[in-house]
A and B are shown apart, each in its own frame.
Chain A
Amino acid sequence: MKAIVNVFLKAGVLDSQGKAVHHALESLHFDGVKDVRVGKQIILQLDENDKEKAMADVTKMCEELLANTVIEDYEIELV
């Protein structure tokens, strides 16, 4: 099983990189973009086949290491 973890700055925490990308898009005349958030994606190959167990494990990994929950939110997708 594979876990795809997306980590983004929390809503309300200023995302300077997202803002810079947004400005760059505007300067390229892509005017229809309302907001840009830049995050990171972490892909984990897991030994686990039990979805529930995998979700619990990866959640723990996010809480302890993969995200800093003071400033970041995370989403986990199992495939």
Chain B
Amino acid sequence: MKVSILQFPGTNCEFDTQYAFEKLGCETQIVWHKAESLPQDTDLLVVAGGFSYGDYLRSGAIAKFSPVMKAVAKYANDGGKVLGICNGFQVLTEARLLPGALKRNEGLHFISKHHHLRVENNDNIFLEKLNNGDVVNIPIAHHDGNYYIDEAGLAELEANGQILLRYTDADGEISNPNGSVSAIAGVCNKEKNVFGLMPHPERAMEAVLGSDDGVAMLQGFVESC
């Protein structure tokens, strides 16, 4: 399986993402944002985390106009599988490939810690290896992770099973670190081929580093390709 990982100026999670997918047996390639096409046979495109363009204007706002993003939109619209992690999630919402937007955390602080997440919908290639209600322990590291969507949009997400993950405590009870609407940590598009989440599964690949729950999460993509 071939994973292409996007790199903008200011991206800083591309090598962790590469490590994670190589550990799962994938071939990986880092793609600079000036590329006008994606590597052929890309099975999964990952928009990695970081601070593309220094988060200037809004997180992800400038990155959406990088040359590669036209190819990303085409790839996604043709049914290609896309995963945005953290800043990658912000880029995908700015590019309108995912619904909603990410605002400044409600408490205004940058939050960097492990947090529990509950699987809400596993009826998709990303989370199919997990069960609904499963709780995973995954690091979060963001300043603008406060997911916003209006009421009509939220109802649509609920109805279509597009809410992937919610922030909880270890027992699976809602615990919202950043003010996200309905404690949402990750969503997918209606077609279920574009996924975004603020937490970092690629940083939870080794038990010795605190958690390897990211393995079960990212494994879904590997098995499905």
Contacts and interface: CB of A to CB of B under 8 A. Distances in A.
Interface of B is mostly: loop
Interface in B50-107: 57-58, 61, 65, 93-94, 100-101, 103-107
B100 A70 contact: yes
Interface stretch (A10-18, A26-34, A51-59): A10-18
Nearest to A20: B108
Contact of B58 (A16, A17, A20, A68): A68
A79 interface: no
Contacts of A13: 103, 148
Nearest to A38: B104
Contacts of A76: none
A68 B105 CA distance: 17
A17 B107 CA distance: 9
Interface residues of A, number: 11
Given A68-B101, A70-B101, A14 B106 contact: yes
B179 interface: yes
Contacts of B94: 68
Contacts of A14: 106, 179
B104 A65 contact: no
A71 interface: yes
A65 B108 contact: no
Interface of A: 9, 13-14, 16-17, 20, 65-66, 68, 70-71
21 contacts: A9-B103, A14-B179, A16-B103, A16-B104, A16-B105, A16-B106, A16-B146, A16-B179, A17-B104, A20-B108, A65-B61, A66-B57, A68-B58, A68-B61, A68-B94, A68-B101, A70-B100, A70-B148, A70-B149, A71-B101, A71-B103
